[in-house]
Amino acid sequence: MTNRFLRRGAAALAAAALLAAAPLASTPAFAGVAHPLSPHTRFFVPKAPDGSQQQIAQLRRSGDKADAALIAKEVTTPQAVWFTDGTPEQVQQQVRQVAHQAAGKRTVPTLVVYNVPGRDCSQYSSGGAGSDAAYRAWVDGFARGLTSQEKVIVVVEPDGLANLPSDCPSAYPGQDVGTFPNPAAGTLTAGRIADISYAGTRILHADRNALIYFDSGHSAWHSVADATARLEAAGVQHVQGFSLNVSNYQWTPNLSEYGTWISECIALHPDAATTTPTDCGDQYYSGGPSNGFTGGALDASKVWSGTASDPTANTAGIDSRYAQELTAANATPTAHFVLDTSRNGQGPWAAPAGTSYPDPQTWCNPPGRGLGERPQAEPSTDHALLDAYLWVKTPGQSDGQCNRGVAGSTTDPEWGGITDPAAGAWFSQQALQLAKLASPQL
C-alpha cells in the first residue's frame, strides 16, 4: 500500500482575542489517561514472511552470518498480520488461527483489515472487495474469527480515509466519486466512509476488548482539521482511536505531535464530521500564543519538538494554542493513537539533489531507510494518548514496482535500475538495508 505526500495550505489564524481569554500554557494536561495496554505487553510474532527464510539461508551459505542474523532479528520482531482478500469463510478461519496462536503465547496480535473496495487509488496495492456489500460480508467473516473478549489490536484500512475516492477521481473513471466533507448519498466516497465505520462497529461488537484504530495517514499529508473531519465521519469516537504512518517513514516525534493535535482537534470539534474545523492548529502553521502567532509550515524532514531552535521544527506555538483552547472549552481529548515505526528509523526520504524525477515517489521503496523503534506499549510519557509503537507494515516487503514517475518505465533508478518486487513481495536488498540502518540498532 502507498502513502502520498499531499501538502495543504497553512491553516487560517483563529481569533487572537478568543485564545487570550485562557491562560498561557505550553502543553495541555491529560491527567488520569487510561492506557489499554500494560507497558509490559508482549506483542505477537507471526510466521516469517515469504522470502525471508530463503534470504537468511542464502546469507549463511555464503558465510555472511552477521547479515543473516540481522534479517533473523528483523523477522522475529513482533509485527502485524494483514488480511487482504479471500471469502468471508476464509478470512474467518485465518483470523481465528492467528487469534488462537496469540492467545496460546499470551501475546497481543496486531491485525490489519485491508480489503475495502477500490483501495489504494489504483496504485500498487489496488484491489479490494468487489462491492460495499461484499466488503461488509467479508468484515463479518473477519469479526466471527475473533475470540470474544480477547485483547487484539485492529488497524482498519490503511490509507482508506486519507485517500478517499474523491481524492483521486481519475482512478475511478466514469464513477460518481462524490466529494468530501459532504459526499452525496450513494457515491464511492460515502460508501468508503460507511464501510470503514461498519468495520469498526462490527469488530467491536464481536470482541469488546478489541482496540480498533482507523488509519489516518501521516504527519506530512493532511492537515489536522482535515484528518479530524475524516475520522469523525467514520465514527472514530466509537473506537479506540486512529493509526498513523502505516507503510511510511515519518519521524516518530513528528507523528507523536501530529497524533496529539488530531485528538485535541477532535475534542474541540465533535461536529467535525459535518463542519470541517477552521481553527485547529497544525503542521502547516506553527503560530500560537507562545510565539505571538508568528510562524509558518513545519519541515517534515526535521525532527519536531517544543524546544527546537529551528522555527521550522518548533511546535511550541501549536502546543500552546491547543492548551489555551482546550482550557477555554473545558474539553478533554480522548481519542488514542498508535504509530507504525517499522521503517522510520532514518526518517523520510527526499530525492537526491540533481535528480529530476517526474514524481520521486518518496513513499515507494526509498533507499537509505532503517527499521525504527521496536513495538512497545505506552512508549511515551510526553504523549499520553499514544498507546503503542507497532510494526504494522511488514519490513522487507516491497511497496511496489517504483519507477519515480517516469512514464512507461518499469525500473527503479534508486535501486540500480532493477525492477522492484511487486507490492507485498520480499525485497531482499531493502530488507537488509533496513536492518543495517536500524535506529535503534538491532
CA distance 243 to 227: 11
Banded pLDDT at 185 (limits 50, 70, 90): low
Question: In CATH, what number does 34-280+337-395+427-436 get?
Answer: 3.20.20.40
At 347 the pLDDT is 98
Q: Which residue, among 379, 388, 318, has the nearest Cα to 110 in the 3D structure?
A: 388
Backbone angles phi, psi at 365, to 5 degrees: 45, 50
Interval 110-124 mean pLDDT = 92
pTM (two decimals): 0.93
pLDDT of residue 125: 81
- What are the domain boundaries of the chain? 34-280+337-395+427-436
CA 334 from chain center: how many Å? 18
Residue 356 has pLDDT above 90, yes or no: yes
Mean of all residue pLDDT scores within the chain: 92
Is a pLDDT exceeding 90 seen at residue 433? yes
- With b meaning 16 or more CB within 10 Å and e meaning fewer, what string describes 185-206? eebbbbbbbbbbbbbbbebbeb
**DSSP state, residue 122:** G
pLDDT in tens, 83-102: 999 999 999 999 999 999 99
Count of Cβ atoms closer than 10 Å to residue 208 Cβ: 9
Q: What is the pLDDT of residue 32?
A: 57
Model confidence pLDDT, tens digit, residues 227-268? 999 999 999 999 999 999 999 999 999 999 999 999 999 999
Tell me what pLDDT residue 425 has.
Answer: 98
